Structure 1
Amino acid sequence: MSIPPPGFVTPPNRLLNQKKSLPPQAHLLFNHVSEEIFNIILVPLIQGPLIQAVRAARQSQELIDSLKRSMDSLRRSIDQVTAALERIRVANPKKSDE
């Protein structure tokens, strides 16, 4: 489901087509009210929270992806530092007390 820009109003002729993508509870409502009431009142009421939930989920996923990239970068940095320390250790072995 694409998210319309803020303030966008779905044309009434498209609302009925969108009822197919609404949750099952919305279909129960549709069976008890006229098509006109459903299209004008109920679909926007259902769509608003649904769109907000989709936006929040997308933002959460973007945050998770960003955190994963940061963790990967941190791991690479740690690996580079560990490798550099190992090279220093090998190049400067400790002198044994003989």
Structure 2
Amino acid sequence: MHSIKKVTMLLGCLALTCSIAFQASATEKFKVITTFTIIADMAKNVAGDAAEVSSITRPGAEIHEYQPTPGDIKRAQGAQLILANGMNLELWFQRFYQHLSG
């Protein structure tokens, strides 16, 4: 139940942030990175065309033991929003986040 509330709050924040970003610059899309594809699908449905949403992991990937690649870190650089499930699902996320600059 708590994770549903967290996801709902995150998606609400995403919607608000995307609408602000969309108003600020109609030509530049808001960059959103998610830790896995289910969150990416939800974010795409909320953001619509206002954001470029991509997932670090691919469909069918084992999310618990995933090991991000240098390419994953490069793709995540400059993201305005990173959405993660938390609750120890993405054991690799904290280390991944520390490698992002800016």
TM-score w.r.t. the length of structure 2 is: 0.25
* Higher Cα Rg, which structure: 1
- Which structure shows the higher strand fraction? 2
- Which structure shows the higher helix fraction? 1
TM-score w.r.t. the length of structure 1 is: 0.26
